[in-house]
Amino acid sequence: MELFRRFYEATCFGETPLAPVLNWEPMPAQGHTVLTLCSWDRQQLLSKIAGSISLVPLNILSADIYTRGDNVALDVFRVSDLRGHAVTNEREMALVESTLRRALESEAFDLSALLEEARKKGRRPTVADLEFPSHVSIDNQADLYFTLIEIQTPDRIGLLHDLLQCFSRNEIDIALARISTESGAAIDTFYVTDRRSHAKLTGTQRLNALHNELHGAALRT
C-alpha cells in the first residue's frame, strides 16, 4: 500500500509522472533483496527492468509480475549480488534506478548492446557445462484466456531481458509471469495474449516462429 501511495503521489504531483517508483528491502538472512516496482505499464517495460538489474550485474532469483486492469504494473523481483548475498550496496541500487530511468526516457538508449558487453566480461558456464537442456513449450489448452509459455534453460546475464524482448518484437502482452532461478537454471512461466486482439496466440506458423525465437534466445551465450 505504501508503494502505491508513493506512486500515485509521484503521478499527481511529481516532476516525472511516468517514472516508476521502486522500493528495496534487503533480507540478508534469506540471501536476497526484494525489489518492488510500481509503474504505468508500457511497451518493453519488463525487459528494461530486467536489463537494468542484470547490467549491474545482479542475479534475478525470482520475479512475480502483474499488470492491473487500470494499466498499473506491480512487479516484485528477488535479487542477489554475484556472491549470492542480499543487495545492500547503495551504489548498485542507484545504478539500477538510473539505468532504468534512462532506458525508459530515451528510445536511443541501447540496453542490449550494454548487456552484450557485460556478458563478454562475466560469461557464465555454457549450456553444455551445466548439462541442463533448454526447453520451450507453448500451450493454448492450460488456461481459458491466456497462452501459457514455459521456458527452462541455464541462467545467464541478460537472459530475462532477451526473452522479454522476443515477446515485445512479436507484439505479445504479458498478463502474469513467474520467474525462478535455482542452481543456475532458469524456470520461467508467462501468461500472454496477442497485443492487438487481447486473445490467445493463434496460427501454427506464428507459434512455431515464436518457439524458435525463444529457444534461440535461451541458447544464446
Closest to 63 in 3D by CA, of 151, 148, 185, 188: 188
> What is the tens place of the pLDDT at every residue in 9-39?
666 666 666 678 899 999 999 999 999 998 8
Q: For residue range 96-105, what is the model confidence (pLDDT) as tens digits? A: 999 998 888 8
Confidence of residue 1 (pLDDT cuts 50, 70, 90): low
pLDDT greater at residue 51 or residue 71: 51
Average pLDDT over residues 144-157: 93
Distance CA 214, CA 201 (A): 15
Q: For the chain, which residues make up each domain, given as ranges? A: 1-122, 124-221
List the helix and strand counts (H, then E) for the chain. 7, 8
Over residues 105-138, the pLDDT tens digits come to 877 788 888 888 777 665 555 444 556 788 999 9
3-state percent helix, strand, coil for the chain, nearest multiple of 5: 40, 30, 30
- Report how far apart, in Å, the C-alpha atoms of 16 and of each of 30, 72, 92, 93, 189 are: 34, 16, 22, 19, 32
CA torsion sign for 161, 166, 167, 171 is positive
Please give the model's pTM, rounded to 2 decimal places.
Answer: 0.79
Identify the bridge partners of residue 192 per DSSP, sorted by sequence position.
147, 174
CATH label, 1-122, candidates 3.40.50.720, 3.30.70.260, 3.30.465.10, 3.40.50.360: 3.30.70.260
Q: Which residues neighbour 204 within 8 Å (Cβ) at sequence distance 6 or greater?
A: none
E strand residue ranges, 7-71? 21-27, 32-40, 59-67
pLDDT > 90 in the chain, percent: 54
Average pLDDT over residues 140-156: 95
Superfamily of the domain at 124-221: ACT domain (3.30.70.260)
Cβ proximity of 103 and 51 under 8 Å: yes
Give me the residues paired with residue 173 across strands: 193
Per the CB < 8 A criterion, the answer to whether 188 and 177 are in contact is yes
Q: Are strands 147-154 and 32-40 parallel, antiparallel or unpaired?
A: unpaired
Q: Which residue in 33, 41, 120 sits closest to 77, CA to CA? A: 33
User: Is-contact 146 193, C-beta < 8 A?
Assistant: yes
- Closest C-alpha among 111, 213, 113 to residue 166: 213
